[in-house]
Amino acid sequence: MITSYEIEFLPVGSGEKSGDCILFHYVEDNVGKIIAYDGGTQTSGKAMVEHIKKYYGMDKIDYLINSHPDGDHVSGLTYVLENMQVGEVWIHQPWKYSAEILDLFHDGRMTANSLSERMKTKLRLAHRVYELAIEQSIPVYEPYAGAKIGPFTVLSPDEDWYKNTLVPDFSKTPPKAKMVFENIMDGMENFVETVAKLLEESWGDENLPNNVQTSAENNSSVVLYANLLGRGFVLTGDSGVEAIDRACIFAERNNLRLKEDLKFVQVPHHGSRRNVSTTVLNRLLGEPINFDAHNLTLNKTAFVSASQSSKKHPRDRVVNAFMRRGFKVVATKGSTKRHYNGMPERAGWGSVTPLEFSYEVDDTDN
């Protein structure tokens, strides 16, 4: 039985680029256990190890999870594996599926083996985590929907979607033969320089589009759910709208009450506006609450990993959307943020100031 827990978001990055480095420390049957969800950069991976030793007094991570193979999430895990004991590693291994996905790629000269090697090269950081685990005889598992990782259940991605849809669309793998030329124009908007402008927004006026898309790599992020002491937790990584929607569908089919029980959530992809929509937030978090300026209580918590100098993360309109649904939003912005229940206070640590509702929001992409 779990009797206490703490979840901490460690800072990643000092410029515009953000990453994730998350620790979940809990006590189960009087035994302390640790889950690491991403390790950020090499620097933040080192900080994670030091943090565990200083505040938890432990030298083992029970479950090491990589949400998806982006450098700002996976790099630090190599340092962790080289400097701490690890019980289990949970990481997707797209290089294993070359025979299954080979026909989806247009380079007819590639064999199954050559495709696998090319994927290993492009996904070298994730593959290095896998190699280190194998070298140390650490069990390695793939986190697909339904898998249990400590107290958490994987909600997304499911195995079929990951292997047959997401992996073939990874930008780090060869382009898919299907509609290559027809899709060229779809990416042109990424090269158009946008001019920042402000958009007025009120509590009852949400401006999140419902047609946003994110990359296959981000949608492959491991979405996790746990209910601890009657409180629901969701970690999202860099998941986009489709991945979050699929996670909600899985939860509903398995009688997991996200909207009713959720008390803590990770804001996806550092607060990018291209990873959430009104529809999917309503499904995950519930409908917006009524605004009462004299009696507004935000009794749920959302953490977002955003580097100290980032001007675009988290987006104001995304922060507003979470606040409308009863969540106070806390950003790392250069310091560790801690949410806990039943764990001891720490000398020198104080309360945090949540982000405020914005009545003018930046009307640009990302």
Number of neighbouring beta carbons within 10 Å of residue 61: 27
Q: Can you tell me the distance from the alpha carbon of 116 to that of 36, in angstroms, rounded to the nearest whole number? A: 28
Domains observed in the chain:
2-343+350-362 (3.60.15.10)
* Residue 222: both structure tokens together: 């491991």
8 Å CB contact between 341 and 5: yes
- Note the pTM of the prediction, 2 decimals: 0.89
Higher pLDDT, 155 or 184: 155
Total H helices, total E strands in the chain: 12, 16
Quick one: pLDDT band at residue 172, thresholds 50, 70, 90? low
Query: What is the distance between the alpha carbons of residues 23 and 44, in angstroms, rounded to a whole number?
Result: 12
- Residue 232 corresponds to which tokens in the numbers above? 């629901």
C-alpha to C-alpha distance for 70 and 40, rounded to whole angstroms: 9
Region 202-210: what's the mean pLDDT?
88
Q: What is the pLDDT of residues 116-145, one digit of tens each?
A: 666 566 678 899 999 999 999 999 999 999
What's the distance, Cα to Cα, between the start and end of the chain in Å? 41
Q: Taking residues 314-341, report their average pLDDT.
A: 95
Q: Which segments within the chain are labelled E, that is strand?
A: 2-9, 21-28, 31-39, 60-65, 85-90, 140-141, 148-149, 152-156, 198-200, 223-228, 231-235, 262-266, 300-304, 327-331, 337-341, 360-362
CA gap 77, 129 in Å, rounded: 7
β-bridge pairing 31-39 and 21-28: antiparallel
Give the span between the Cα atoms of 109 and 211, in whole angstroms: 37
pLDDT in tens, 291-323: 876 677 899 999 999 877 777 789 999 999 999
Angle among Cα 256, 61, 33 to the nearest 5 degrees reads 55
Q: What is the pLDDT of residues 33-61, one digit of tens each?
A: 999 999 988 999 999 999 999 999 999 99
**At 349, is the secondary structure helix, strand, or coil?**
coil
